[in-house]
Amino acid sequence: MKLIIAIIQPYKLEEVKKELYKAEVNLMTVSEVLGHGRQKGVTEVYRGVKETGNLLRKIRLEIAVNDDFVKKTVDAIISGARTGETGDGKIFVLDLPECIRIRTGETGKEAIG
Amino acid sequence: MINSGDTAFVLFSAALVLLMTPGLAFFYGGMVRRKNVLGVLMQCFIIMCVLSLQWVLFGYSLAFSPGNSFIGSLDWIGLKSVGLEPYADYAATIPHQAFMIFQAMFAVITPALIIGAFAERMKFSAFLLVTILWATFVYDPIAHMVWGVGGWMRNFGALDFAGGTVVHINAGVAALVSAVFLGKRLNVGHAVPPHNLPFTVLGAGLLWFGWFGFNAGSALGANGIAVNAFVVTNTAAAAAGITWAVIDWLKNGKPTMFGTITGAVAGLVAITPAAGFVGVIPAILIGIGVSCICFVMVTAVKIKFGYDDSLDAFGVHGIGGIFGALATGLFANKLINPAGADGLFLGNPKLFLIQTGAVLVTIVYSLIVTVTIFKVVDFFVGLRVEEKEELIGLDLSQHKEAAYTVLE
């Protein structure tokens, strides 16, 4: 089992979701986060004063999958989120030792899907 | 003769009507996704600035100076000869400028109503151009035809107490045109959850409050007609709000906050042309009727035809305005206002026909000229933001500002 964490551009969320559904990955957790990669900030201007170098708004996706779904999931995220510009984000794939479904107490493979 | 009571009342009413535009900004602003809330607030607020200037420079002259039967002249440009003495054809007991500034607030809010239909996808520069052209070539002529000295609908006997045709039908039709013209928003199904419903409730409350200035103030004097307009305005809003809540309850299992305020606003729209001519029982019927019709419009008709009237500017203002103008032809009563006329239910079918005619003319005129304006602006600057800008949201893409921070 793997835990896939992806940091993507907020405006790409809809497209990534579409790609994931196409790949039959329907279970995910989404949160709004702030982060700093190589991308320079969008300049915001408040009463004439420029704000740059801020932490940028990003979307963080967390998806737990069985091993045979890892590639499909990663490919789906890439095809939804890639623009080719800096700031497209990153995907982290982590080992996941255990997963438990609270309602039934099932563990492992059954609990994930 | 200037009457100080009347003057004080009209000035106060003008201030109330001004407050409706920021009220509308919050009403609409709460409904959009949070990446677009400043876009909506900005559009409403800049209209207060732009139209206030347009109005004193030439808008008031085009709308209200004696001209031909379609449009005023340029004689009152820059408020030339619009002074502090009364102008009896409009209001005999208040300074002419008091009437002018009261009307200015109507000229401000009318184009702001249209924003609801094209919210979340229009380019700011195109929006500014459309607004100025629309105010000049649609609002000003229609205001002249209905209210201006020599205006043909006024001479024809059409009753529009506070702007059902001039404001609501006019803006509602333009709203439908803009929704169709701009096309659907990206990635949007039929229901977009409002990002801040409490804002929308606050906005609806401010609209209800401001509407007393809009309707009662349209009596242009602190008198019995103003009191009647105040009472029926409140009554119709109440009846319409309850009606929508009940429909929600029966149809979807629970009464909703969003539905209740939508109903109340529809009630306010519908009573607007009738406020000076009907009593409380017709006001209740108008309130009940408008909520039923608008409910069908926004939940069934819009979805069937598939136009993306984002915030139901046409469904509530256009349809509510048409219903109200026709209802005036049914319920108007000379016992309430001797200067008005009797409606169909008091044995005068002629008024209903006149009202129907006025509604049709307003729809056709607004439709044709609005389409032309959209085509012209689309040709020169393009109406819609780039796809990426739309996905990022108007706040950042059009104004470089964000409404909310993530942390702190």
- CB contact under 8 Å between A46 and B401, yes or no, is yes
Q: Is the pLDDT of residue A54 over 80?
A: no
pLDDT, position B212 = 98
Q: Mean per-residue pLDDT for B25-34?
A: 96
- Asked whether the CA dihedral B394, B397, B402, B404 is positive or negative, the reply is positive
Q: State what percent of residues in chain B have pLDDT above 90.
A: 90
Residue B145 in this model has a pLDDT that exceeds 70: yes
Whether the pLDDT of residue A53 is over 70: the answer is no
- Residue A40 DSSP symbol: P
Of A12, A14, A45, the CB nearest to B400: A45
Overall size of chain B counted in residues: 408
The string of pLDDT tens digits covering residues B367-407 is 999 999 999 999 999 999 999 999 999 999 999 999 998 87
Residue of B nearest to A17 (CA): B187
Q: Which amino acid is at A51?
A: E
Whether the predicted pLDDT of A39 surpasses 80: no
pLDDT of residue A42: 67
Confidence (pTM): 0.92
CA distance B11 to chain A (A): 32
Q: Where is average pLDDT lowest: B181-190, B213-222, B362-371?
A: B181-190
* Amino acid identity at B58: F
Tell me: the pLDDT tens digits for B51-84? 999 999 999 999 999 989 999 999 999 999 999 9
Does the pLDDT value for residue B227 go beyond 70?
yes
- Of all residues in chain A, the one with the smallest CA distance to B187 is A14
CB contact under 8 A, A11 and B392: yes
Mapping DSSP onto H, E and C, the string for A83-104 reads: CCCCCCEEEEEEECCCCECCCC
Calculate how close chain A gets to B32, using CA atoms only, in Å.
Answer: 16
**Residue B406: which of A11, A12, A32 has the nearest Cβ?**
A32
Adjacent-strand bridge partners of A34: A57
d(CA B291, CA B239): 9
Q: Of A74-88, B234-248, B394-408, where does the model show the most confidence?
A: B234-248
The pLDDT of residue B36 = 96
Burial class (CB in 10 A: 0-12, 13-18, 19+), B243: buried
Size of interface A-B (CB pairs under 8 A): 25
- How far apart CA A16 and CA A8 sit, in angstroms, is 9
User: Would the CB atoms of A33 and B401 count as touching at under 8 Å?
Assistant: no
Contacts of A11 in chain B (CB under 8 A): 388, 391-393
Element (H, E) at B95: none
Annotated domain spans of chain A: 2-112
Residue type, A91: I
Inter-chain residue contact B406 with A43, CB threshold 8 Å: no
Residues of A in contact with B401 (CB under 8 A): 44-46
Q: Are B227 and B217 in contact (CB under 8 A)?
A: no
CA distances from residue B6 to B90, B163, B219, B221, B227 in whole angstroms, order as listed = 13, 20, 9, 4, 13
Chain B hits for A45, CB-CB cut-off 8 Å, are: 400-401
What the block records as the tokens of A81 is 């989120």
Q: ∠ at Cα B127 (B266, B185), nearest 5°?
A: 70
Residue A41 pLDDT > 90, yes or no?
no
Q: Tokens 């300049």 correspond to what residue? A: A43
Q: For position B189, what pLDDT does the model report?
A: 73
H-run or E-run covering A34 = strand A29-35
Residues of B in contact with A34 (CB under 8 A): 406-407
What are the phi and psi torsion angles at B386 (to 5°)? -60, 155
pLDDT at res. A55:
79
pLDDT at position A86: 87
Task: Name every chain A residue with its beta carbon within 8 A of the beta carbon of B388.
Answer: 11
Distance (Å, whole) CA B149 – CA B60: 12
- B335-343 long-range contacts (CB < 8 A, ≥24 apart) are B336/B225, B336/B228, B336/B276, B336/B277, B336/B278, B336/B279, B337/B225, B337/B228, B337/B276, B337/B277, B340/B159, B340/B276, B340/B277, B341/B157, B341/B159, B341/B277, B343/B277
Domains of chain B: 4-399 (1.10.3430.10)
Rounded mean pLDDT of B205-228? 97
What value does the mean pLDDT take over residues B347-371?
Answer: 94
A32 DSSP 8-state letter = E
CB B182 within 8 A of CB B118: yes
What distance in Å separates the CA atoms of residue A49 and residue B165, rounded to the nearest whole number? 44
What DSSP assignment string belongs to A43-99? Answer: PEEETTEEE-SPPEEEEEEEEEE-GGGHHHHHHHHHHHH--SSTT-EEEEEEE----
Can you read off the two tokens belonging to residue B398? 């059009």
Residue A16 and residue A4 in contact, taking contact as beta carbons nearer than 8 Å: no
Whether complex ipTM tops 0.85: no
pLDDT tens-place string over residues B84-126: 999 999 999 999 999 999 999 999 999 999 999 999 999 999 9
CA nearest to B321, candidates B111, B165, B212: B165
Smallest Cβ distance to A45: which of B388, B393, B401? B401
> Residue A51 contacts by C-beta under 8 Å, 6 or more apart in sequence?
A41, A43, A44, A45
Whole-angstrom Cα Rg for chain A: 17
At CA B332, angle to CA B329 and CA B335, rounded to 5?
A: 160
Q: Please check whether the domain covering A2-112 is classified as CATH 3.30.70.120.
A: yes
What does the pLDDT look like over B161-203, one tens digit per residue? 999 899 999 999 999 999 999 999 998 876 788 999 999 999 9
Chain B interface mutation, best of A7, A8, A11, highest count of B Cβ atoms under 10 Å: A11
Which whole number is the average pLDDT over B329-344? 94
